[in-house]
Amino acid sequence: MSQSTAKPSPAPKGLSGFALKYLAMALMVLDHIEYFFAYTGKVPLLFSQLGRMAAPLFLFCLIEGFTHTRNRRKYVLRIYLLSVVMGAVQFSFYNIGYMLVRPDGFFPQNQMLASFAILLVVLQGFDWCGRKKWGRGLAAILIPVFLPFLAAMLMSVFQSPGWNFSFSLLAFTLLPLHSFIMDGGTATLLFGIILYLFRKNRKTQAAAFVVTCVLWDILRLRLMAPQLGFADFFTVAYEWMEVFAVIPMLCYNGTRGQGSKSLFYWFYPVHIYVLYALSFVLFQFV
């Protein structure tokens, strides 16, 4: 009697979730090499142009993780706590870490995790609204969106150094405000909502993301800096190049893939502070 052997199912075509994360990590490193070492004049601008795709890819993976994780509270809390730690480090540069600021006044202002933390609260609000939990859902959406305006009003009323210090510390750590964040901020919140709302149809999601990027990046710059010429959008105003992130997004095969779940959480802060330390040391010799 012959024994039949089942053939293993072929691996799905395309990129897994982990493959997208690793691609985003590689692009992020290129971007940050240019960010930290641009003063040398030796780093190709292409590094930063390619790096425009990193944040949207991480954003895409974040939404996939938020949608499919088994423990959403743990998922959000991990990102939030890490953002608090990194926010405290950045706050120290402004207030007590003067000796750690590079001689040209530069220091890292990487708060993408804070942007992600705000976005996840808003996305949870959309999820609650989808389940008819309107009170908590609308609160989770509206409070993070409008909190910066309330904070600005309070800061204008309470103008003592003590109050300003307290407000700033909260904004950098426990209560991040999207309009106060230089790395991501309001744009990340907007793009993340778009990617989440259209997540059930990949092509529509990609198209909505491209349209939103064009409206946000190009039209905003044209209104704020009408003197920009066509060539400037490839040299000094190339944020719009994040639209090319839709190419790997469309290659996503819907699988998780294999990789380290914790890699990004430690790699993100470690590589930032290592690159900054190297740029600080190298600056002494350039």
Backbone angles phi, psi at 192, to 5 degrees: -65, -40
**pLDDT reported for residue 2:** 45
**pLDDT reported for residue 251:** 97
Instruction: For residue 20, give both structure tokens.
Output: 């997208």
Tokens 């075509």 sit on residue = 13
**pLDDT confidence tier of residue 93, bands split at 50, 70 and 90:** confident
CA distance 146 to 164: 19
pLDDT 10s digits, 134-167:
999 999 999 999 999 988 888 888 877 888 888 8
**pLDDT reported for residue 18:** 95
pLDDT 10s digits, 18-53:
999 999 999 999 999 999 999 999 999 999 999 999
Q: Name the most confidently modeled range: 95-104, 169-178, 242-251.
A: 242-251
**pLDDT reported for residue 284:** 87
Look at the pTM and tell me if it is higher than 0.85.
Answer: yes
pLDDT of 3 > 60? The answer is no
Alpha-carbon torsion angle 205, 211, 213, 218, nearest 10: 170
pLDDT of 6 > 80? The answer is no
**pLDDT reported for residue 218:** 82
Would you tell me how many other CB atoms lie within 10 Å of the CB of residue 101? 13
Mean pLDDT of the chain: 91
pLDDT of 1 > 70? The answer is no
Q: Cβ neighbours of residue 63 under 8 Å, at least 6 residues apart?
A: 123, 192, 195, 196, 199
Residue pair 232/161 in contact (Cβ under 8 Å)? The answer is no
**pLDDT reported for residue 82:** 95
**pLDDT reported for residue 11:** 62
Of 62-66, 129-133, 220-224, 231-235, the least confident: 220-224
pLDDT 10s digits, 189-233:
999 999 999 999 999 999 999 999 999 988 888 778 888 888 888
**pLDDT reported for residue 4:** 47
Query: How far apart, in Å, do the first and last CA atoms of the chain sit?
Result: 77
**pLDDT reported for residue 8:** 53
pLDDT of 118 > 90? The answer is yes
**pLDDT reported for residue 160:** 79
Of 6-10, 53-57, 168-172, 268-272, the least confident: 6-10
